[in-house]
Amino acid sequence: MELTCTENFSNAARASRDKVIFNDVRVINNLLNDEMFSIPKCDYFQTIQNDLQPFMRKVVTTWMLEVCEEQMCEDQVLPLAINIMDRFLCICPIKKQQLQLLGATCLLIATKVRSTNMLPIDLLSAYTDYSVTYEHISSWELLVLSKLQWNILAVTGFDYIDQVLERCSWGHESQFLRRHANTLVSMCYTEPSLIQTPPSVIAAACISSAIRGLKLSSSEVALRDTCNMLNVNPRTVEFLVGVIDNAVSKVAPSLTPTTPESKTTVQGYESPHYGQPETPTEVENIYF
């Protein structure tokens, strides 16, 4: 019997709007109540990790971002993988030579939890130029899970994006808004200075920054609505928007939109142009 799956998920349609999820205020309340349990408990660079520096985390998380882009992983994979990594580093000290191994392991775990397609261990090993072996990743998977007591699920900034956009009239003002907001969420999770920032604040700032970047007329209304919905301080959001804009300016040669024909476009999103992920990694261009 032929058991080969021949379905093509590359152009899979998104599920229709679920009224139960997006009309019930308890969903957002539960996210806000649960997010505190998944925020890293400390600045591990100061307390736990004697051999690691913030720039090392930046290098590895950017490599993780490039791997997810190259493999077209779902948006929710990277924030969860980095959250798992941060929570593990709050508990277990490691050597700097093991940081990329940890990043690859967390990507494996995150794709098992929040992706339709798991990243194979052999592929993750290849992305490290085989400096990390199959045996390393498989053994560290058990180590990470045991240290976190198998509590790997977490509320991330990604979880709030659709909740906010689907509940507000301005949420559909641009077809690129969701895509840009999710891209900024991923970028925020690579920033060492935002390790202990609540996911709700990250989401609010990314939505606000995306709206301003797209030059939509509802920027002021969107900021007010988002802050009220997620119960965050507008001043905190404004400060974080500045951090996001500064991070974007470091990796984007130009914020001027270009024509879709001049770059790769996937489902209406102008995809970042990364090269093949390498070790150490180098960010090339991100276009918005």
- CATH code of the domain containing 56: 1.10.472.10
Work out the average pLDDT over 238-255: 78
Average of per-residue pLDDT across 224-251: 89
Residue 137 lies in a domain: yes
Q: Are residues 94 and 191 in the same domain?
A: no
Residue 5 lies in a domain: no
Q: Which domain holds residue 216?
A: 158-270
Query: Do residues 128 and 100 share a domain?
Result: yes
Q: What H or E segment, with its residue span, contains residue 208?
A: helix 199-213
pTM: 0.81
In a domain, 187, yes or no: yes
State yes or no: pLDDT of 264 exceeds 50. Answer: no
Does residue 205 sit in the same domain as residue 114? no
70-79, 117-126, 132-141, 212-221: least confident range: 212-221
> Mean pLDDT lowest for which of 68-72, 141-145, 158-162, 216-220?
216-220
User: pLDDT per residue over 18-35, tens digit each?
Assistant: 777 888 889 999 999 999
Comparing 102-106, 146-150, 269-273, the range with the smallest average pLDDT is: 269-273
- Is residue 107 domain-shared with residue 182, that is, in the same domain? no
- 187-209: pLDDT as tens digits: 999 999 999 999 999 999 999 99
Is 283 within a domain? no
**Nearest-5° Cα angle at 177, 171 to 179:** 130
Share of the chain above pLDDT 70, in %: 81
What mean pLDDT do residues 204-233 have? 91
pLDDT at 103: 95
Question: Is residue 72 domain-resident?
Answer: yes
What average pLDDT does the chain have? 83
Within a domain: 131? yes
- Same domain? 46 vs 137: yes
Q: Is residue 182 part of a domain?
A: yes
Answer with the one of 147, 178, 206 that is the final residue of a domain. 147
Q: Which of helix, strand or coil describes residue 226?
A: helix
CB 67 within 8 A of CB 127: yes
Last-in-domain residue among 86, 117, 147: 147
CA distance 242 to 178: 20
Check residue 250 and give its pLDDT: 76
* Span 47-67, pLDDT tens digits: 999 999 999 999 999 999 999
Given this model, what pLDDT does residue 174 score?
Answer: 86
What is the per-residue pLDDT for 148? 94
Looking at the structure, tell me whether residues 107 and 163 fall in a common domain.
no
Residue with tokens 């959001």: 237
Compute the chain's Rg from CA coordinates. Answer: 19
Contact 106, 142 (CB under 8 A): no
Per-residue model confidence (pLDDT) at position 22: 84
Using alpha carbons only, what angle is made at residue 193 by residues 113 and 50, rounded to the nearest 5 degrees? 85
pLDDT band at 2 (very low <50, low <70, confident <90, very high): low
One domain, residues 142 and 90:
yes
Q: Is the dihedral of CA 281, 204, 86, 120 positive or negative?
A: negative
Predicted local distance difference test score (pLDDT) of residue 253:
52
**Whether residue 237 is found in the same domain as residue 263:** yes
Q: Count structural domains, the chain.
A: 2
Same domain membership, residue 142 and residue 168: no
Phi, psi of 114 (to 5 degrees): -130, 30
Kindly tell me if the per-residue pLDDT of 222 is higher than 70. Answer: yes
Tokens encoding 83: 């959250």
Co-location of 143 and 68 in the same domain: yes
Task: Report if residue 28 sits inside a domain.
Answer: no
Q: How many angstroms separate the CA atoms of 240 and 143, rounded?
A: 34
162 and 143 both lie in a single domain: no
Verify that 115 and 211 share a domain, yes or no: no
Using an 8 Å Cβ cutoff, are 286 and 252 in contact? yes
Give residue 80's pLDDT. 96
Peptide bond into 280 cis (omega under 30): yes
Q: Which amino acid is at 122?
A: D
- Last residue of one domain, picked from the residues 120, 147, 174: 147
